[in-house]
Amino acid sequence: MSDTILIINGPNLDMLGTRQPEVYGHDTLADVEKLCEQVAGEEGFAIDFKQSDSEAEIMKWIKQGRGFTAGLLINPAGFTSTSIAILDSLLIYDKPIIEVHISPLFKRDEFRHPSHVSRAAAAKIEGCGIRGYDFAIRKLAEWARA
């Protein structure tokens, strides 16, 4: 069993803390990474934390994680409702996947409601702020130990 949880963040998440704080809060991506490191450490896991605005780069990371990570937490952000290509990459990933969204998609613009990623995810957490990452890491760690 790998002791690393892969965490992938999609487009514009590098702007957390300054981009629409009324929607996403004031925490930065660095705050999210620090939280993830802390929670994973408590669970006996390391993290591989990534962010990209590039669909191709995200797809590459998913495929590279296959066979080498204990699970995948993905916040696909703007690719949630648009990327069949990311879905296809997730469908070949060989460990559990949890989809996380900081804001509640169901309260956002209607075009943001559908998620292609959800078809590959074992669970979805949304609307819990950055604490959703905490919940997801703990669940992935539980599944990896089972």
Query: What is the three-class DSSP state of 14?
Result: helix
* CB contact at 8 A, 66 and 93: yes
Q: Would you say 88 is a known binding-site residue?
A: yes
- Which one is catalytic: 93, 101, 116, 133? 101
Task: For strands 4-9 and 71-75, give the pairing.
Answer: parallel
Q: Does residue 93 have an active-site annotation?
A: no
**108 annotated ligand binder:** no
Where are the alpha helices (H) located in 2-130, listed in sequence order? 21-24, 29-42, 55-65, 84-92
Q: Is 112 annotated as a binding residue?
A: yes
The DSSP letter of residue 102 is S
Annotated binding residue at 75? yes
The catalytic position among 24, 93, 116, 133 is 24
102 annotated ligand binder: yes
Distance separating alpha carbons of residues 40 and 36, to the nearest angstrom: 6
By annotation, the residues acting in catalysis are 24, 101
Which residue ranges are tagged as binding site for substrate?
Answer: 75, 88, 102-103, 112
